[in-house]
Structure 1
């Protein structure tokens, strides 16, 4: 079976025989047809991504928004893989004492994202960067026996729990074809293509998931690749666009449409689906930024009645809260290099102003939450 997406290849013989998929290199040949519904969705997605990008350059505390958004994306991307944990779990100030493996997975995804964004400043988006990011993702978590930072040397397959190569839903390229395909993909990412970058990002994500170069973590690395590519192309200057929520809500369609490309070579239906994901996700990010900005401005007004000295101390803790919306007094005091008593007094002021509330206790430590802020971020998780 061969179509413009690739061909099925026979491997081994006798009892051990199986067929793997060898993907054709990008861009598709014949070329993607940009017309009809695809074109309409492309214009809409580009418009919304441009509005989001414009917002990102205007908002003074954009870096705070992004650091929170990265955490939310890490959570959603990990949930697609079946990870069970909540936003509160990963924002818990006593996270080091929290040995929940699901939480460790998400925390590693955050580290991997931050690592990749930093690395992108010194290295083009290449296989080396992808492997290094993978190593951070799987560092000392449950995939660590799956060759972190290394492309696989063995055949993998995709199927339900307990499936074998005989009844797998999909068998990615064998190790030799995989290496060729990753080398071709690296060239495509770094070559100029006349296709719109959003279409390219959709094709790159499809291709990476189809190649499945790692024994574990392919989905998470493949979704991160979308953001990295759009930043590399200058479409985004901050990593404020993430599509994991859309993919999580449309998980079955997401997998079915990839399968359809491999089966029929119909890239257009896949790209159309992906452009909708971009448009919806950009809209969601714009809405979240607007809500967080409004909340920030409303709460700042509550400090107008304080003395100048009080206000400056309260602002220090308030700024910390916007990147750490769940706190305990000791850790906050240590981080801000102020006394425990000072933070304790400020926490009382923030409770009185209706900004903070005590939400839990861990041993002697009381845990306080910036609930209104968390409610905005918690949506969809």
Structure 2
């Protein structure tokens, strides 16, 4: 096992002309996303929609498969029993929010923050690896791919170096690619390294003010190019082939930002159209808060409307059934409870 090098990487390997061109394109698209996200004043609508998508995609990379319907049912707290895959995705969402909350408090990302993110993800206190023997093998061939650092002392030193580099003044997107490689190669935990690393990616973008809220994720891009992702990651380890890896990540940021811009615009258009439809066809019950609650919670319970609008349960039920009458919601029965689905938004999120 060759020793994992400390950061930073030699700038001659990370500041080539193709990398700088890719960085420029990714930065422009990301800046556009940061600006356009503000067209939706209630940012919870965007965060809820995009975070759940990322939670699902990031877990899928680890072969944890669930559906958006199951996730939103679980979020509505209507389902009493949730399958293990859905629980794993919900833990991812919770871990991401935990990291985001801590980042907003102290404006840096510490080793303790990273350990806490992983703890929320995997639901145990094992923490940083202390026992040797961890190896990464190919799932299909059982072939040894990589042996990460083995001793607690080495892992601790690398994590200290990692967080110092993460929090320094360099704010480039190229640095995110370097950080992602380094974290996956340190592989500091027994479980949850990939998901923790992908949460660190979005927190880095917020830390360096590329974004204000957690609405861009690389997991869908990684799923589409999974084999290439692992191939390029391995080539950095074996050949120090930084350029291919960094350009891959920068391309992912650019493509994913462009996809998210389209999604933000589509959500805004649907929100505006829904507001106009309710004003026109159900003016007696219209309020901005009512419509926004349906977008924050695509699977809506009567209790959500009671809390958001401060109305009685009977009135909340009447509002939701009226919105079903005009084709905005679809009511389904889950156990003894009614669940009202924002069908337009769910179609948009699924597609």
Same fold, TM exceeding 0.5? yes
Taking the TM superposition and a 5 Å limit, the aligned residue runs for 1:1-381 are: 8=1, 21-29=2-10, 31-92=12-73, 93-94=76-77, 97-123=80-106, 124-139=108-123, 144=124, 147-148=125-126, 150-155=127-132, 156-161=134-139, 167-175=143-151, 176-193=153-170, 197-305=172-280, 309-312=284-287, 315-329=288-302, 332-333=305-306, 336-358=309-331, 360-379=332-351
Matched position secondary structure for 1:361: strand
Structure 1 residues 115 and 39, CA gap change in structure 2 (3 angstroms): same
- Structure-1 separation of matches of 2:120 and 2:65: 20
8 Å Cα contact 1:197-1:230 kept in structure 2: no
CA-CA distance at 1:160 after TM superposition: 4.0
- Structure-2 separation of matches of 1:335 and 1:308: 18
8 Å Cα contact 1:41-1:275 kept in structure 2: yes
8 Å Cα contact 2:290-2:308 kept in structure 1: no
Structure 1 residues 364 and 59, CA gap change in structure 2 (3 angstroms): closer
- Structure-2 separation of matches of 1:104 and 1:95: 14
TM-score, length basis structure 2: 0.92
Structure 2: which 5+ residue stretches go unaligned?
none
CA-CA distance at 1:63 after TM superposition: 2.8
- Structure-1 separation of matches of 2:78 and 2:177: 35
CA-CA distance at 1:324 after TM superposition: 0.8
CA-CA distance at 1:96 after TM superposition: 5.1
8 Å Cα contact 2:16-2:243 kept in structure 1: no
Matched position secondary structure for 2:137: coil
CA-CA distance at 1:162 after TM superposition: 9.6
More helix by proportion, 1 or 2?
Answer: 2
CA-CA distance at 1:351 after TM superposition: 1.6
CA-CA distance at 1:303 after TM superposition: 2.3
Residue by residue, what CA displacement relative to the aligned partner does 1:182-203 show, whole Å, maximum 9, x if unpaired?
111111112234xx51000110
Larger Rg: 1
CA-CA distance at 1:40 after TM superposition: 2.5
**Greater shift in the superposed pair: 197-206 or 368-377:** 368-377
8 Å Cα contact 2:301-2:340 kept in structure 1: yes
CA-CA distance at 1:100 after TM superposition: 0.8
Root mean square deviation of aligned Cα? 2.1
Structure 1: which 5+ residue stretches go unaligned?
1-7, 9-20
Structure 1 residues 191 and 311, CA gap change in structure 2 (3 angstroms): closer
